[in-house]
Structure 1
């Protein structure tokens, strides 16, 4: 296998930087020609005249799409864009770089042409242990609190939290990770020099200092509705699983979750009130193949290594829970109220009088029953847990 020369790598980087200006994120037509020709050759063919036939170098791709590529490619200034990101202390990653996260290759021809990145961390190593936390922009206080707590807990267990820097759940997740001095990655639908939303300018700047800010679009690019949707596939592919905290039926976070499922990643949802429209989309996911999670341990059990199991959840152990089944059956047969003869208790329990008497004295020694003449009655030790278990009925 021939090792690419420094010049070839520079040419590839420059060509991909130009193509990131010419081609919209996730364009599989462009991805197919990029795979076939390579970045520099694809760009060269794109800028050629095409012998009078605009579709000549790219059979099967519509002339309008090719014309759009050519128009943008002609106005691209890749060297200027690379200088701009370097001035921010950032870099432009291409698939041949060691820092490139290999899991993005799962996107096939929809794989990013490259990634514009700001921040001190190594993206490839962070992505190896990363989880996406996404959800509604107009979230409830419950959703914001849950997202922040999950993000903080995940980073304390060594996981990087990835989200989209939007208002609501995204912002809460990033803040939770930052507050815990943890790792967080913001994937933007704009240029990394053009933070969006504007209200998160300081938050995104803080993420760039402590974590990573990245996007597919070159410096100066503005977000559009379609770019937000296409950005979500990168969040899904980059991480080992996606957690949706709150989402309505029509929500971009559900797009992320479904993209994660298609890529074979874990899809998880945090339940909310059944009366909340903001949790309706999450509940719909949970009715499908998504897994219900309520805390960090349950998330890590799914996406972590073998043996990272969530603790077993159970209610408090009551004294009567420790009784043998036959003894518990006799205890359940004793009615509340006045003393009851052992023969009646035996009949109710479906055992013999002798076995019943033996169990009654066992229960007496444990403080569950007392004897009154020829009858037996329950003590408070027996009645209070029983009432609690029966819901007061």
Structure 2
């Protein structure tokens, strides 16, 4: 275990995820020297002298004092031992498994990530889509999220979500059901099942796919961290789909981060009377508008390779009558909707001779469009169907 990895493991325990000032210190000093500065409670003299902005020095000094207090409760050695026992690994910037897309977060980049599961994070995120949405989801949203995730999984796309109840859980379960890859980004330690109702799902993801957290094992969830982790979900994926979201849904923050990072933002429309679709409709309406998607093919087209992953045009329903020749179709349209008509009457109405009318009526009868009736011919139920 290198000095840099131990330092980063310690920083994940004592600081809130993605603090800009801490990342700036890491960029200036490196992780080990940043940890040394925290232990001393002050910046190195040469570093402080090299910062022209006195207010920035003051803010950094204030945060160093805060982190120094929290350092006394950090136990990186214990965290690493627990991680080894649970099969959890620490991935740091520059590691082969580190997704370079996380570097797009700049000053909000994670210091390191704790991973549990056999899948490779960087490889899995090469073709990945975030599916997020409301915790209090409707049956419509749950079904759509599950089906979309399942179809994406069948096509080899990794489904990234937050492991929460509602849309998140439906997305993970849909991917697992199709034996597809999925990544759950948690606001707590990868060994802490939260919510508890998803315990079985987390165990399955840890066994087959990947759980990800910015916090060491054993860390309990905090309310603010649910919003903070959304930036990681957005950064890992090539695009974000908001399946269902209320006006103040946390899923909208994931969409905000995706847009800020230059990722594709997509939203699924829902009933205009549904409170759980208000957020989606706002994304579709407000500039810059999200891309409206209704099926997995449209999602893949939006985030896939240009010219390769195009969505097929939905097949239009083809009625047998569309295959009729123009004269037969004219005879069919000449028949009244409720009554019967004789061949001579139909010939006159269609503007053809009687032998042709009789021939076409025989063809229409064989196709199940017309049937004999007192007084001539009438439409069948098949012909009356829209």
TM superposition score category, shorter chain reference:
0.7 to 0.9
What is the match of residue 300 of structure 2? 300
Query: Relative to structure 2, which stretch is displaced further, 198-207 or 84-93?
Result: 198-207
- Which of 18, 25, 35 in structure 1 is aligned with 2:17? 25
Q: Secondary structure, in 3 states, of the residue corresponding to 1:147? A: helix
CA RMSD in angstroms comes to 3.4
Is residue 44 of structure 1 aligned with residue 36 of structure 2? Answer: yes
Taking structure 1 as the reference length, the TM-score comes to: 0.79
Q: Indicate conservation of the 8 Å contact 2:334/2:346, yes or no.
A: no
Q: Distance in 1 between matches of 2:347 and 2:176?
A: 67
What is the match of residue 125 of structure 1? 123
Q: Indicate conservation of the 8 Å contact 1:136/1:278, yes or no.
A: yes
The equivalences for 1:35-114 within 5 A come to 35-50=27-42, 60-61=55-56, 62=59, 63-114=61-112
Please state how far the C-alpha of 1:170 moved relative to its aligned partner: 0.9
Q: Are residues 120 and 341 of structure 1, via their aligned partners in 2, closer, same or farther at CA, if it must alter by over 3 Å?
A: closer
Please state how far the C-alpha of 1:244 moved relative to its aligned partner: 1.3
Structure 1: unaligned runs, 5 residues or longer: 1-8, 346-355, 369-377
Q: Secondary structure, in 3 states, of the residue corresponding to 1:121? A: coil
Aligned residue pairs total: 359
What is the match of residue 373 of structure 2? none
Taking structure 2 as the reference length, the TM-score comes to: 0.80
Q: Deviations over 1:137-173 (max 9, x none)?
A: 1111121111111111111111111111111111111
The equivalences for 1:315-354 within 5 A come to 315-318=316-319
Q: Are residues 318 and 115 of structure 1, via their aligned partners in 2, closer, same or farther at CA, if it must alter by over 3 Å?
A: same
Q: Secondary structure, in 3 states, of the residue corresponding to 1:75? A: coil
Q: Indicate conservation of the 8 Å contact 2:37/2:43, yes or no.
A: no
Please state how far the C-alpha of 1:21 moved relative to its aligned partner: 1.5
What is the match of residue 313 of structure 1? 314
The equivalences for 1:263-278 within 5 A come to 263-278=261-276
Q: Indicate conservation of the 8 Å contact 1:35/1:109, yes or no.
A: no
Structure 2: unaligned runs, 5 residues or longer: 365-376
Q: Secondary structure, in 3 states, of the residue corresponding to 1:223? A: coil
What is the match of residue 170 of structure 2? 172
Q: Are residues 187 and 332 of structure 1, via their aligned partners in 2, closer, same or farther at CA, if it must alter by over 3 Å?
A: same
What is the match of residue 291 of structure 2? 291
Please state how far the C-alpha of 1:322 moved relative to its aligned partner: 7.3
What is the match of residue 240 of structure 2? 242
Q: Secondary structure, in 3 states, of the residue corresponding to 1:226? A: helix
Q: Indicate conservation of the 8 Å contact 2:335/2:378, yes or no.
A: no
